[in-house]
Structure 1
Amino acid sequence: MRFILRRVGMFVFTLWAALTLNFFIPRFMPGNPLQDLVARGRGKISAQAMADMLASFGYKQNENGFQQYFAYLGNMVTGNWGVSLTVAPGAPIRDMVLSALPWTLGLIGVTTILAFLAGTGIGIAAGWRRGGLVDSVLPTTFVITTALPYFVVGMLLIEVFSVTNHWLPNDYTYDYTIVPGFSPGFIGSILQHALLPAAALMITSVGGWILTMRNNMITTLAEDYIRMGRAKGLSNRKIMYGYAARNALLPNLSGFAMSLGFVLSGAVLVEWVFNYQGVGYLLLDAVDSADYPLMQALFLLYTVAVLVAILASDFLMLRLDPRARAKG
């Protein structure tokens, strides 16, 4: 119980610190963000929309800094993130984020899970038969691909599969000539547009999981309880999965949980290269357009996602690892 209370307390404190930094950092930027916002929005959105946007950003007339700060905290917690200034003038930021979020979760989230599962399986096989064919070929190959920037791999895939051979589309989330709905044509279009960015992410991320799982397996196989299992005559399958892989997997779970937390931020450059309309693309658009309220909301979203992932990882380790329960 003390372990849980400490972790929850640290989560709340870190979230408060992140919210506070998110409030003050724009105000420490060179120049006056308020004047910049007003200048950029003048003539583009209505006076009421401008007032709503400035209020969500923490600026209200006749309010001191403390009042603005607490009003900002309330808006961030309740999802009242105001309106966009330059990316989509006057559009509610919450609607913009909710519109982009499913594309990022579908592409980056599914690819992250598949890369983890594939890398873990290959790493188990490579570590179990150290020096064998799988261990000699696959880890080395995928570690090399992991060193490649994923946007470079994405551009190579575009050149081969879209520009040269015209096999797959290279931009957008689906064919906008198709009416969205649960139809085979729409679903097929989504999958076709996701194949190349998903392949770029898969190629460049699976190697890390392979290498870490392989090394964990090799370390675990040297433990005394593995030797005891062999001495007792347990089957190789039982030792491999029931003892070695199960314990070797624990360190990887923390990394996997954090990877899921970073899913929400999207693979920014991959989404930009493929013009994939996810959260990462939205962030680049907000930065390029100096849309302060949108940037502020997205940074908050990323922070919360990572903190929740870390907290979930801690609870998962507490559930799976008796040593963590003993320390707690």
Structure 2
Amino acid sequence: MRFYLQKAAFYVVALWAALTLNFFIPRWMPGNPVDILISKLSAKGPVSPATRHALELLLGTNSNEPLWKQYVDYLGNVFHGDLGVSVTYFPASVTQIIGQTLPWTIGLIGLATIISFVLGILLGQLAGWKRGSWLDNVIPVTTMFQSVPYFWLALILLYVFASIVPIFPLNGGYDVYSVEPGFNGPFIGSVLYYGALPALTIVLSSVGGWMLGMRNMMVSTLSEDYILTAEAKGLHPRRVRTVYAARNAVLPSFAGFAISLGFVVAGSIVTEQVFSYPGIGSALLNAVQSNDYALMQGIFLVITISVLGANLLVDLLYAIIDPRTRARA
């Protein structure tokens, strides 16, 4: 119980610190979202001081209030689910924009990250168990894809499989001309078809690292005394490989998986720009270009919760896989 209480207290403090930075950093940036919005509205006529003050209240940047008062109001609004109004997509709220774009990012990059992790761990486990096999010799080829800049690999695959050999579409998240968005077969099939090439790019660029890390840990673990003891007892090789060797070798990979899974949202910017994918990364880029404080804060909050949630999940899994973690707490 003490272990779980310590973890809960740590993540509560980390969340508060992240929320505080999330409030102050956009306000330290040059520019003002109210001026940007007024410049858009001024094309239709002059904007009165009363209108400007109303926009400041709407966007949460009231210059007549002290910064600490804005900070307290911001924390209260966050805990009530009110993330403000987006300047970039005005008059849509930040919650609406995130609700529309986040499922695309989680569906594509989240699933692709999980697939690459599981595939890399399984293949790395076999490569470490059978050192010198053909699978072990394939690892340098897979790590070559990881060393190639991601956007360059994405552009090459896009050029080959969407332009020269038009197997996949060039851009977009689904066929906007022939299917109706919703929970139906044609729409789901179109989403899978349009997301296949971006997902393949993510898997190719990351599976090699998971394979190499798991393979090296398997080689190190197989030299331990408890592996020799398990083999001397006459246990089945599959049991020795999975229960004794792989279970301990996979522990360091979980920490890296937590970081990569937590940064799914942050790492989606390049992917979605190359493939023109309608995810949260594109919304974040537009928010930065427009100095959209509210939308930036909302997306950063999602990134923070993703990272903290992923790390918390891995900490709990650590405690289950390796009971010694709870004993040391």
CA distance in 2, matches of 1:93, 1:291: 10
* Number of equivalent positions: 325
SS at match of 1:75: helix
SS at match of 2:132: coil
Instruction: Return 42-51 or 61-70, whichever deviates more.
Output: 42-51
Query: Per-residue deviation at 1:120?
Result: 0.5
In structure 2, relative to structure 1, the CA distance for the partners of 1:8 and 1:183 (3 Å cut) is: closer
Q: What is the match of residue 223 of structure 1?
A: 224
1:43-82 to 2 correspondences below 5 Å: 43=42, 54-55=56-57, 57-60=59-62, 62-82=64-84
In structure 2, relative to structure 1, the CA distance for the partners of 1:29 and 1:180 (3 Å cut) is: closer
Query: Per-residue deviation at 1:202?
Result: 0.7
1:102-141 to 2 correspondences below 5 Å: 102-137=103-138, 139-141=139-141
Q: What is the match of residue 307 of structure 2?
A: 306
1:159-178 to 2 correspondences below 5 Å: 159-177=159-177, 178=179
Deviations 1:163-220 (A, max 9, x none): 1122210211001112123433222211111011111111101011101110111111
Gaps of 5+ in 2: none
Amino acid at match of 2:132: G
CA distance in 1, matches of 2:51, 2:200: 41
Gaps of 5+ in 1: none
CA distance in 2, matches of 1:15, 1:44: 41
Q: What is the match of residue 7 of structure 2?
A: 7
Q: Is the 8 A contact 2:121 2:214 kept in 1?
A: yes
CA distance in 1, matches of 2:6, 2:104: 35
Q: Is the 8 A contact 1:57 1:72 kept in 2?
A: no
Query: Per-residue deviation at 1:40?
Result: 4.1
CA distance in 1, matches of 2:144, 2:86: 41
Q: What is the match of residue 142 of structure 2?
A: 142
Query: Please, what TM-score do these two structures have when normalized by structure 2?
Result: 0.92
Q: Is the 8 A contact 1:49 1:90 kept in 2?
A: no
CA distance in 1, matches of 2:241, 2:115: 21
CA distance in 1, matches of 2:140, 2:13: 42
In structure 2, relative to structure 1, the CA distance for the partners of 1:38 and 1:102 (3 Å cut) is: closer
In structure 2, relative to structure 1, the CA distance for the partners of 1:295 and 1:196 (3 Å cut) is: same
Instruction: Return 74-83 or 46-55, whichever deviates more.
Output: 46-55
CA root-mean-square deviation? 2.2
Q: Is the 8 A contact 1:18 1:303 kept in 2?
A: yes
Amino acid at match of 2:151: F
CA distance in 1, matches of 2:133, 2:17: 49
Query: Per-residue deviation at 1:56?
Result: 6.2
Amino acid at match of 2:292: D
CA distance in 1, matches of 2:282, 2:55: 22
CA distance in 2, matches of 1:49, 1:268: 34
SS at match of 1:263: coil
Instruction: Return 40-49 or 206-215, whichever deviates more.
Output: 40-49
CA distance in 2, matches of 1:286, 1:181: 27
1:181-260 to 2 correspondences below 5 Å: 181-260=182-261
CA distance in 2, matches of 1:260, 1:110: 10
Q: What is the match of residue 100 of structure 2?
A: 99
In structure 2, relative to structure 1, the CA distance for the partners of 1:22 and 1:57 (3 Å cut) is: farther
Q: What is the match of residue 158 of structure 1?
A: 158
Query: Please, what TM-score do these two structures have when normalized by structure 1?
Result: 0.92
CA distance in 2, matches of 1:53, 1:213: 54
Query: Per-residue deviation at 1:98?
Result: 0.5
Amino acid at match of 2:284: L
Query: Per-residue deviation at 1:241?
Result: 0.9
Q: Is the 8 A contact 1:83 1:92 kept in 2?
A: yes
